[in-house]
Structure 1
Amino acid sequence: MRVPFIKMHGLGNDFVVLDARVEALPPLGAAMAAALADRRTGIGCDQLIILEPSDQADFRMRIFNPDGGEVEACGNASRAVALLHGRAARVETAGGEITVEPTGRGARIDMGEPRFEWDAIPLAYAVDTAAMPVAWEGLANPVAVNVGNPHAVFFVPDLEAVPLDRLGPEIEHDALFPERVNVNVAQVTGPASITLKVWERGAGLTRACGTGACATTVAAIRRGLLAERQAQVTLPGGTLDIEWGDDGRIMMTGPAAESFRGSFDWGDFV
C-alpha cells in the first residue's frame, strides 16, 4: 500500500503530513509514528501530522511526537496545515478546536484561551501557577500555562547561559508534571519582543515551537513584562507574532512552507 505524504515546516519545525480526509488510513500506533519520524531510517520530522474527517469541525488534526506519543496541540503544524488546506477552517485537535486562515506565505491561527488552573496544566498538586515555588539549578519560579498542551515558562537574564539541552529533559519528566511538560526559557529583550528556546515534550530541542511562543507571551503579559498584550517572539528558526486579545483568545501569525512530496510503502513501517 503506497501512501502519499507532504513534508512541511514552520520556521524549521518540520512535519510529515498524511492526509486521510478522503481515503482512510489503517490504524497507526506509537511504534509506526516513531518509525516514520526517524531521521535515519524513516522520512524524518519533528512531528507526524494526520488529517482526518471530523463531526464537529471542518477536519481533525492528530499530532504525534518523534517518540510516538500523541499530543494535543502544535502551533507550527497548524500554520502548515492552514497553508495546505488553502482557506479558512475550523480544526478539531485533542487540545480543543482552533481556527486557521492562510495569509500568503503563512497563516494566522486562533489558538483559543489559555488555562492557568493547576489541574488544567496539569500539575501533581495545587500551586500558584503565576510563579511556581520550584527550581532546577538556575531555573526558578516558572509560569505554568496550558495552551492546548502544558508549558512551563522560565524568564532569564541571559538565554544563552542556560543549558536547556541538559535541564530540559529533567524538567519535562519531573513528577510535578504528570503528563510531562514543554520547557520554555525566555529572555524579554524589549517592550514587545522576546527571545525564546523550547525543549519540546517528546521531541527535545526544536527550531521553533508555536504553542511555546503563545505560552511565553501570555506568561510575560501575566508577569507584567511587556508594554502591551502582544509580542514578536524570536526562536532559533525565526519570528512569530503573538497577540493575547482582550477577549482572552491567543492569535498567532507566522510563516509556513511546503518542502516536498513523496510516498512510502505502509508495510515497511508496520
Structure 2
Amino acid sequence: MKLNFFKYQGTGNDFIILDIRKKKIPVCIPALFTKLCNRNFGIGADGIILIKNDSQSNFYIKYYNSDGKESTMCGNGARCAISFAKKLGIKKNKIYFRAIDGIHYGIIKDKNLICINLMDIEINMIKIYPKYTILNTGSPHYVLFVENIQKIDVNKEGRKIRFQKSYEEDGVNVNFVEVIGNNMIKVRTYERGVEKETLSCGTGVTASSIAAYEKGFFSYYYNNVYGKVLAYTLGGKLWISFKKIHDKYYKEINLTGSVKFIFEGYINI
C-alpha cells in the first residue's frame, strides 16, 4: 500500500503530516509511525501529525511522537498544520483546529510566518521551586534556568530529569533556559517521546517565557499588561506573547515563528 505524506518543519522541529480525512491507515500505528520517523530507515521526523475531520473546527490534529505514542499538544506541529491547511483548500486567514486539549486557532501572517493561540493557564497551576519551574502549556514542561546554555549536555542532563520517578510514567519535556536580555531568552529542549534534544519546541519556549516572568527575570510587561518574549532556539527564532489577568491567569497566549514545507511523497507500507 502507498502512503502519501507531506514533510514540514517549524524552526527545525520536523513533522510528517498525513491527511486521513477520507481514508484510514489499516496497519499498527505505533510500529508504523516509529518506522516513518526513523532518520536512517524511514522518512525521518520528530513526530507524526494526523489531519482528521472535525465537526467543531476546520480539522482535528492528532499528534504522535517519534516513539509511536500519541502525545499532547505540539506547538510547532500545530503551526505546520496551519500552513498545511492551504493544501487542504482552506483559504481562511484565521483557521480553527481542535487538538487533544481543546480548540485553538492559527493565523497565517505572511508566506512563512505562522501564529497559533494556546490554551489559558491558571497561575496557581504553575509550580515554582528554587531551582526549577513546572507548568503545562498544552504539554508538561520542566524549566531550568542556567548561566551558559552552550555548555549544557542537553541529552545527558535532560534524560536524567525526564526519567526521574515522579515523571517517568507520563514523561516531561525539559527546557534549559538562559536569559540574555530583557524579554529575550535562549532555550534548548529535551523532548519526551523523541527522547533527545530537538532543534526547538513550541510549547517549551512558551513555558520558558512564562516561567521567566513568574521568576522575575523580566522587569516589566509592555503596557503593564502584555508580555512579549523573543526566544532563540537551535532551529531559529520564536515570538511568544500573552496577557496576565489579575494574577490569576495567563490568557491570549500566542506562539509565532517560521514554517517551511520541505517535500511530499509516498512510501510503501
TM-score by length of 2: 0.87
The residue that corresponds to 1:221 in the other structure is 213
CA distance in 2, matches of 1:25, 1:90: 24
CA distance in 2, matches of 1:167, 1:95: 29
Question: Amino acid of the residue matched to residue 206 of structure 1?
Answer: T
Question: Amino acid of the residue matched to residue 241 of structure 2?
Answer: E
The residue that corresponds to 1:234 in the other structure is 232
Question: Amino acid of the residue matched to residue 230 of structure 1?
Answer: K
Shift of 1:159: 1.1
The residue that corresponds to 2:102 in the other structure is 96
CA distance in 2, matches of 1:235, 1:28: 34
Question: Amino acid of the residue matched to residue 187 of structure 2?
Answer: L
CA distance in 2, matches of 1:70, 1:173: 18
2:122 aligned with 1:106? no
2:148 aligned with 1:158? yes
2:58 aligned with 1:58? yes
CA distance in 1, matches of 2:266, 2:123: 42
Question: Amino acid of the residue matched to residue 59 of structure 2?
Answer: F
Classify the secondary structure of the residue corresponding to 1:176. Answer: helix
The residue that corresponds to 2:252 in the other structure is 249
CA distance in 2, matches of 1:153, 1:159: 13
Classify the secondary structure of the residue corresponding to 1:24. Answer: coil
The residue that corresponds to 1:185 in the other structure is 176
CA distance in 2, matches of 1:115, 1:181: 19
Classify the secondary structure of the residue corresponding to 1:70. Answer: coil
CA distance in 2, matches of 1:100, 1:75: 11
Question: Amino acid of the residue matched to residue 78 of structure 1?
Answer: A
Shift of 1:95: 2.6
CA distance in 1, matches of 2:37, 2:11: 18
CA distance in 2, matches of 1:164, 1:100: 30
The residue that corresponds to 2:224 in the other structure is none
Shift of 1:29: 2.2
- Which runs of 5 or more residues in structure 1 are unaligned? 119-127, 134-140
Question: Amino acid of the residue matched to residue 112 of structure 1?
Answer: M
Shift of 1:50: 0.6
The residue that corresponds to 2:47 in the other structure is 47
Residues 127-206 of structure 1: pairs in structure 2 closer than 5 A: 129-131=127-129, 141-177=131-167, 178-203=169-194, 204-206=196-198
Deviates more, 1:36-45 or 1:159-168: 159-168
CA distance in 1, matches of 2:26, 2:124: 37
TM-score by length of 1: 0.87
Question: Amino acid of the residue matched to residue 196 of structure 1?
Answer: V
CA distance in 2, matches of 1:182, 1:197: 10
Deviates more, 1:169-178 or 1:46-55: 169-178
Count of residues in correspondence between the two structures: 249
Shift of 1:24: 3.5
Classify the secondary structure of the residue corresponding to 1:55. Answer: coil
Classify the secondary structure of the residue corresponding to 1:218. Answer: helix
CA contact (8 A) 1:57 1:91 kept: yes
The residue that corresponds to 1:138 in the other structure is none
Distance 1:28 1:95, change over 3 A: farther
CA distance in 2, matches of 1:16, 1:100: 19
CA contact (8 A) 1:6 1:261 kept: yes
CA distance in 1, matches of 2:122, 2:192: 18
CA distance in 2, matches of 1:246, 1:170: 33
CA distance in 2, matches of 1:162, 1:43: 29
CA distance in 2, matches of 1:186, 1:65: 23
**Percent identical across equivalent pairs?**
28
Tell me how large the CA RMSD over aligned residues is: 1.7
CA contact (8 A) 1:61 1:91 kept: yes
Residues 2-81 of structure 1: pairs in structure 2 closer than 5 A: 2-26=2-26, 28-81=28-81
Classify the secondary structure of the residue corresponding to 2:158. Answer: helix
The residue that corresponds to 1:123 in the other structure is none
CA contact (8 A) 1:147 1:214 kept: yes
Shift of 1:3: 1.9
